[in-house]
């Protein structure tokens, strides 16, 4: 078989890499639908099932907590048997869990407990998706390209956050539980695409010896434990604050401002659009500077995410609420690509899956805790909740400033 000319071969290789990146980008896009598509319709679900704000917020927690607990095990498995062998089945489980939650609303007399169980199953599937896609991107793309690629994946995640409130509100116009059925319709074809299109580098098909794997992780944890802990805390707090604010904003739009249906989804999409756009620009900037400003991006992002929530108890218009939460969204979009780069670049292939999964667990823990915590506005009042959130953000900022050593994280 005749080989291609060098220029043509490079073109084919670049096209193949872009196609693999596009296939990988479906993973964060779909995974983020798991929570973001439901946020604008939480008041509608609460009305249909006669639930309080804190109760309906459990639909977010029932998904996010199992996802966070599953991630380390999915990462461990992916380091030993390969990323794609975990990601593709996990997407199928994610889709089946969504379908089961939707069917519970149609077939069961008291659907809420069954919906929570289905959301747990869906969360277990989500635990083997996005963070492993980040790890796989770290495997496929070299350091010079990695920041930009991780920014693109975070942007796909952000784009999903933008689209999902609109999609959730629009699909719920058909019937209130219709969004649950969307999960299966998207996730199962995406699993097939990832399985068929993405080629994982550097694997012989053999399971990595556990002793070699443990040795790598021990070496990394001994040298980089504190900087990694600062990254994990920053990622968790950013998403705790943002998702807590968004869930509460959805309720405020419905109860205080009388905004319903698609209009509510459109307004909630504004802060997450800020996140998506900033994540893309931030990833591009980090790639041009070789990741050199990652620490500064994290500190600025955590500060903005914290400050965005401080004025909310005193604000009295939709525009001012949206602007303040958009500031937080921009901060989160600034911080996450930098955190992704620092975490995935801090460890070689042998431990990357587990480490990025542990980081993902902390992020999901933030998403799980945020909505029910901010839902306590009903019981405690807005001022203690939002000032408490600002205090948590302040702690994350101080820890990152003191312990996030970029040079140590990027050291081979």
pLDDT digits (tens, 9 = 90+) for 226-260: 898 999 999 999 999 998 999 889 888 988 898 87
pLDDT band at 224 (very low <50, low <70, confident <90, very high): confident
Higher per-residue confidence, 292 vs 59:
59
Q: Which domains, and CATH codes, for the chain?
A: 9-198+207-410 (1.20.1250.20)
CB neighbour list of residue 387: distance below 8 Å, 6 or more residues apart: 310, 313
pLDDT band at 216 (very low <50, low <70, confident <90, very high): low
| Residue 20: both structure tokens together | 């693999």
Helix (H) or strand (E) holding 280: helix 261-288
Classify residue 251 by its DSSP letter.
H
Helices 318-345, 130-140: axis angle to 10 degrees equals 50
**9 has pLDDT over 50:** no
* Highest mean predicted confidence (pLDDT) among 8-12, 55-59, 344-348, 395-399: 395-399
Query: What pLDDT does 402 receive?
Result: 93
CB 312 within 8 A of CB 289: no
Query: What pLDDT does 1 receive?
Result: 44
Three-class SS string for 327-388? Answer: HHHHHHHHHHHHHHHHHHHCCCHHHHHHHHHHHHHHHHHHHHHHHHHHCCHHHHCHHHHHHH
CB 168 within 8 A of CB 36: yes
| Sign (positive or negative) of CA dihedral 70, 75, 81, 86 | positive
The pTM for the full model equals: 0.75
| Sign (positive or negative) of CA dihedral 194, 198, 200, 206 | positive
Helix (H) or strand (E) holding 207: none
> What average pLDDT does this structure show over 384-398?
92
């Amino acid at each position: 078989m005749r080989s291609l000319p060098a220029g043509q071969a490079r073109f084919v290789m670049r096209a193949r890499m872009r196609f693999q990146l596009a296939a990988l980008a479906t993973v964060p896009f779909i995974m983020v639908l798991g929570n973001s598509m439901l946020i604008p319709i939480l008041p509608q679900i609460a009305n249909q099932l006669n639930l309080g704000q804190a109760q309906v917020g459990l639909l977010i927690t029932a998904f996010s907590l199992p996802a966070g607990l599953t991630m380390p095990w999915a990462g461990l498995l992916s380091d030993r048997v390969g990323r794609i062998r975990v990601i593709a089945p996990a997407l199928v489980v994610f889709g089946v869990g969504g379908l089961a939650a939707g069917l519970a609303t149609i077939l069961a007399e008291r659907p809420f407990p069954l919906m929570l169980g289905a959301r747990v199953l869906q969360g277990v599937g989500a635990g083997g998706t996005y963070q492993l896609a980040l790890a796989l991107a770290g495997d496929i793309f070299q350091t010079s390209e990695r920041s930009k690629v991780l920014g693109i994946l975070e942007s796909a995640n952000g784009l999903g956050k933008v689209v999902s409130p609109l999609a959730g509100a629009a699909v719920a116009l058909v019937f209130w539980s219709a969004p649950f059925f969307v999960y299966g319709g998207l996730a199962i074809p995406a699993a097939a695409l990832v399985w068929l299109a993405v080629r994982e580098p550097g694997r012989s098909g053999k399971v990595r010896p556990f002793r070699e794997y443990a040795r790598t992780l021990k070496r990394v944890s001994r040298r980089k434990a504190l900087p990694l802990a600062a990254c994990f805390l920053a990622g968790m707090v950013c998403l705790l604050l943002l998702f807590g604010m968004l869930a509460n904003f959805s309720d405020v739009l419905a109860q205080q401002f009388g905004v319903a249906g698609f209009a509510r989804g459109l307004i909630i999409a504004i802060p997450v659009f800020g996140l998506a756009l900033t994540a893309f620009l931030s990833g591009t900037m980090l790639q041009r500077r070789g990741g050199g400003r990652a620490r500064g991006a994290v500190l600025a992002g955590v500060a903005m995410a914290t400050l965005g929530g401080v004025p909310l108890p005193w604000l009295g218009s939709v525009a001012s609420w949206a602007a303040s939460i958009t500031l937080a969204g921009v901060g989160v979009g600034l911080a996450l690509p930098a955190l992704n780069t620092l975490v995935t670049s801090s460890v070689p292939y042998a431990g990357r899956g587990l480490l990025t999964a542990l980081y993902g667990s902390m992020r999901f823990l933030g998403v799980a805790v945020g909505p029910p915590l901010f839902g306590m506005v009903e019981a405690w009042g807005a001022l203690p909740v939002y000032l408490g959130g600002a205090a948590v953000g302040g702690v994350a900022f101080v820890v990152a400033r003191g312990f996030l050593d970029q040079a140590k994280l990027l050291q081979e």
